[in-house]
Amino acid sequence: MLEIKTVLLIFGIVFLVLVLTRKAIRKEKTRSLSPVKSTQAPAPEIKPRMTEEQFNKSWKSLSYLMLLAAAGNLYMLYNSVMSALETQSYILWIDALFSLAAAVIAVFIWRLHRRNLVIAYMVITIIPIMFFISTGHSTDGIVRLFPLMLVYFAVKPVWEYIDKEPRGAVHSSWTL
C-alpha cells in the first residue's frame, strides 16, 4: 500500500501536468483563432473552418500527448504483466491485453487522425476502469484515467477537424 505522501506527490505531479497542458492548449487555441478587428458593422459570426495547414500545426503541437498516453498504457501493460506473473491472475492478463490494445490505438490515432479510433480508444480504456472500480480496486481504476485524459486534451481542440472517414473512402451517398 502506498503512503499518503506518495499518493499526494503523484497526484500533484499529474495535476501539474494536466494544468500546464490545458494552459498550452488554451494558448495555442487563442493564437490560432485571434479575431481581426474591423470598422464595419459586425456580420453574423460564422465559425471559420480550420485549414489543413492550421490543423497540421495544431496537431503537431498536441500530438505529443497521444504518444505520452501510449507510453502510459505501455507502463500499465508492464505493471499488469509483472503482477499477473506473480499472482497468476487471469484478470490482470485481460487488463494487460486492454492496455496493449489502447497503446496501439493511441499510436494509430497519432498517425491517422480518425474519430472512430478515438472512440475505440475510449471504449477500450473505459472497460478496465469500470471493472477495477466495480471490484473495489478504485486506485487501479483511477490510474487508468490519466492516459484517457491526455487523449481528451489532445483531441478536444481539433475534434471538429479530425477525419470522420479515411481518405479515399467511398461515401454512401455516391452511387453508380
Q: Do 65 and 154 meet the contact criterion of CB atoms below 8 Å apart? A: yes
pLDDT digits (tens, 9 = 90+) for 80-104: 999 999 998 888 899 999 999 999 9
Confidence check: pLDDT of 49 > 90: no
Least confident of 7-21, 30-44, 154-168: 30-44
Q: What is the 3-state secondary structure (H, E, C) of the chain?
A: CCCHHHHHHHHHHHHHHHHHHHHHHHHHHHHHCCCCCCCCCCCCCCCCCCCHHHHHHHHHHHHHHHHHHHHHHHHHHHHHHHHHHHHCCHHHHHHHHHHHHHHHHHHHHHHHCEHHHHHHHHHHHHHHHHHHHHCCCHHHHHHCHHHHHHHHHHHHHHHHHCECCCCCCCCCCCCC
The predicted pLDDT at position 46 comes to 60
Least confident of 75-84, 117-126, 134-143: 134-143
> Per-residue confidence at 1, pLDDT binned at 50, 70, 90?
low
Q: Which residue has the cell 475505440?
A: 120
Average pLDDT over residues 6-29: 82
How buried is 32 (Cβ within 10 angstroms: 0-12 exposed, 13-18 middle, 19+ buried)? Answer: middle
Confidence check: pLDDT of 129 > 90: no
Average pLDDT over residues 122-150: 87
Average pLDDT over residues 56-80: 89
